[in-house]
Structure 1
Amino acid sequence: MESTNAGNGAERTYRPGRASALVVLLTSLAMVAFAANSLLTRAAFQMTSIDAASFTAIRVISGALTLLVILLLQGGNARYTKTRWWSGILLFTYVAAFTLAYRNISTGAGALVLFASAQLLMISYGYYKGERTSVLGLLVALGGMAVFLVPSASAPSLSATALMAVAGLAWGGFSLLGRSSDSPIANTAGSFLWAVPFVLVLMLIQRENLSVDWMGAAYALLSGSLASAIGYVIWYWVRVRMTAISAGAVQLSVPVLSAALGVLILGEDISLESSLSALAVLGGVTWVTLTAKAGKHRQPTVTIDEALQRNR
């Protein structure tokens, strides 16, 4: 798989198992941070009066400022390139659709649809570029998702599911654009900064429907600055200190953690059928991830571990 230049240097210095206790701790914190994005967004719409446009704007702007401060402290610069402009559009699309979807979908269901959509796009792109993996594993994942989305009392609404799928596709595209990054924090900061004008336009369009309270703003601020920006910085550090397979597999915990947090903190329900179908999706994606092989004379493309390494 592809690695950043900084990552290659770190991988020559660190080996899997070294400082394992610290790596495990920080990896767990990073995964909780990513799951917290789903929890904070869902909680904002359940417990506060904030609207989706305001939440999106606060999350993106606070994330941009936090990453910019971190970057400046490191002596780096945010990059304003054509690729970053497209990344900014995809980042805005992801955050906006993600936020809109969580008005009407549970924490765990939203994370699962987001995760599956992003992975299916990247897996499809990998096939296009010559990668090969287990077709059976892919069918298991698709079958599990189909069962999960079959209309029922526990199934998420179609509109919310469609919005979260759009968010997942945008996230997958954002990940693919960042695959050649040699400075993930700099490029991510640049992408967040490019997304700021779009959220301001969104707020202008929705100016008559804006509604912000202190608690809703606090949730959005935590989502942008802590769960997103700080979460990514932690992930970049641990990513180069673990194997690619481990990095990919550990991210499968995010939908599970999101669902668990939704149940424990927001009192959401998960049916047995939904739980089993969700496990089928995660199991299928695991199967696909562990059996993926690059095609001959092709450059390997983004795998699951790069979805969070390169962007978000």
Structure 2
Amino acid sequence: MTIKTLITTVFALLAFAGNSVLCRLALGEGQIDATSFTIIRLMSGAVVFVIILALSGRDDINAICTLKQAFKAISQRWLGAMMLLLYATGFSFAYVQLSTGVGALVLFGMVQLTMIGVSIYKQEYLPWLHIVGVFIAFCGLFLLVYSQLVGEDVILSIFGLICMLIAGIAWGVYTLLGRGSSAPFLDTGSNFILSAVFCIPLLLIYLLMPAVLSAQGVGLAVVSGVVTSMLGYAIWYVALPNLSRVQAGAVQLMVPVIAAFGGLIWVSEAITLPLLIAQAMVLGGIAMVMIKVKVVPQKN
């Protein structure tokens, strides 16, 4: 792994964990409703993307504004935009119920299962060292979630779990689409613009439940949309072409550990021995997955 890939991967993982903390702070404390958080998050990311393009003087903004190029962008990126919307919606509604660490565990555990499943379907070679590493990392994550589930303040609902499982599948597909990206920033921004358009039907939810908005909640949604989402995902798309499917899924297993410590700082969760052990297991397992194994061809 090159230094560039390592740095971009680390920054992306920090952004992912930041999303969990920001979303939990906003939704867990009732600062904003899940629908509003999702819409503001996606639209703020899209607006900042357009502003950056306009200020940079790049020709991309003119290309996006032409009708022909707009339809071309939709035809090429509609799946990524739909996956981004599905992920963001499930993510928001799940964190109304789930704690920071548990939500991140369910999300990225499902991401890993999705990407391993695609690797098996594509018949991608999986060295035993990588398989063992993934197993150890999962054991660490289960230890982490168990240590949180025994707490009195953890609320675990079936609806929240289902929403986060759906979000995990959507993010897994979004990640796989990003492995072929040749223009990470443009692809990410275009996905945000299209997803912001696609999220218009979410406004119908306001007919069933009123919006809950506060200055702090809106601010957290904007920071999530601009910094830890749009910019974070663009950085992630830079790293992805240099990671295998299994590696891209495995490194994201670090996010629940980082998010748990973020919850410790912002939500005053206690540091426990199981948390430290889980962190060591996850990091050790990921280190095994990141080791490049040379495939020796078998002789007939």
Q: Same fold (TM over 0.5)?
A: yes
Partner of 1:105: 98
Contact 2:33 2:213 in 1 (8 A): yes
Structure 2 length-normalised TM:
0.75
Alignment partners' CA distance in 1, 2:3 and 2:282 = 29
Alignment partners' CA distance in 2, 1:27 and 1:138 = 18
Q: 1:45 aligned to 2:27?
A: yes
Offset at residue 94 of structure 1 (A) = 0.2
Alignment partners' CA distance in 2, 1:256 and 1:158 = 21
Give matches, 1:170-181, under 5 Å: 170-181=170-181
Aligned in 2, Cα 1:92/1:202: closer, same or farther, shift over 3 Å? same
Contact 2:184 2:234 in 1 (8 A): no
Offset at residue 152 of structure 1 (A) = 4.8
Aligned in 2, Cα 1:34/1:141: closer, same or farther, shift over 3 Å? closer
Offset at residue 167 of structure 1 (A) = 0.8
Offset at residue 277 of structure 1 (A) = 5.1
Offset at residue 103 of structure 1 (A) = 1.1
Tell me the C-alpha RMSD between the 2 structures. 3.6
Structure 1 length-normalised TM:
0.73
Alignment partners' CA distance in 2, 1:185 and 1:40 = 23
Aligned length: 275
Offset at residue 63 of structure 1 (A) = 0.9
Q: 1:157 aligned to 2:151?
A: no
Q: 1:133 aligned to 2:130?
A: no
Contact 1:109 1:156 in 2 (8 A): no
Give matches, 1:51-66, under 5 Å: 51-66=33-48
Q: 1:222 aligned to 2:223?
A: yes
Alignment partners' CA distance in 1, 2:143 and 2:39 = 34
Alignment partners' CA distance in 1, 2:201 and 2:242 = 41
What do the CA deviations read for 1:275-307 (whole angstroms, capped 9, x no partner)? 6456545644553454678999xxxxxxxxxxx
Contact 1:51 1:212 in 2 (8 A): yes
Offset at residue 122 of structure 1 (A) = 1.0
Offset at residue 110 of structure 1 (A) = 1.7
Aligned in 2, Cα 1:252/1:71: closer, same or farther, shift over 3 Å? farther
Alignment partners' CA distance in 1, 2:100 and 2:213 = 21
Partner of 1:256: 257
Contact 1:203 1:210 in 2 (8 A): no
Contact 2:184 2:235 in 1 (8 A): no
Contact 1:130 1:295 in 2 (8 A): no
Unaligned runs of 5+ in 2: 65-71
Alignment partners' CA distance in 2, 1:140 and 1:17 = 25
Identity %: 35
